[in-house]
């Protein structure tokens, strides 16, 4: 497993480096304590791992598609205020 460490003191620079890494096929590893994104005062640190060969956008599209198909349609009748007295 390839690991990339990112350490910066600027949020702007951190975001730029992370964005470039994601475009190059890296992803966050939220399962590892060592690689979890962390802020030590003003220092921002994270570890990223090389994504597998499967396209992340294709994987995300499949998840969204699965969630849409499994979600049943729900009609909720909204009642506003009390009924007027007669």
Task: Report yes or no on 55 lying in a domain.
Answer: yes
Task: Answer yes or no: is 25 within a domain.
Answer: yes
> Does the residue 47 lie in any domain?
yes
Residue 81 has what pLDDT?
Answer: 72
**Contact in structure between 28 and 77 (CB atoms under 8 Å):** no
Does residue 35 lie within any of the structural domains? yes
Phi and psi at 30, nearest 5°, equal -85, 0
In the prediction, which pLDDT does 51 show? 79
Show the domain range for 45. Answer: 3-70
- Residue 64, pLDDT above cutoff 60: no
What average pLDDT does this structure show over 9-28? 94
Average model confidence (pLDDT) across the chain? 80
Q: How many domains does the chain have?
A: 1
In a domain, 78, yes or no: no
Q: Flag whether 22 is in a domain.
A: yes
Look at 65 and 14; give whichever has higher pLDDT: 14
Task: Write down the pTM of the prediction.
Answer: 0.57
């Amino acid at each position: 497993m390839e690991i990339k460490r990112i350490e910066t003191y600027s949020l702007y620079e951190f975001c730029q480096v992370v964005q470039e890494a994601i475009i190059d096929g890296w992803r966050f590893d939220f399962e590892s304590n060592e690689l979890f994104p962390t802020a030590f005062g003003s220092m921002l640190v994270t570890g990223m791992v090389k994504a597998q060969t499967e396209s992340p956008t294709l994987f995300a599209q499949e998840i969204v598609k699965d969630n849409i198909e499994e979600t049943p349609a729900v009609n909720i009748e909204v009642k506003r205020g009390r009924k007027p007295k007669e």
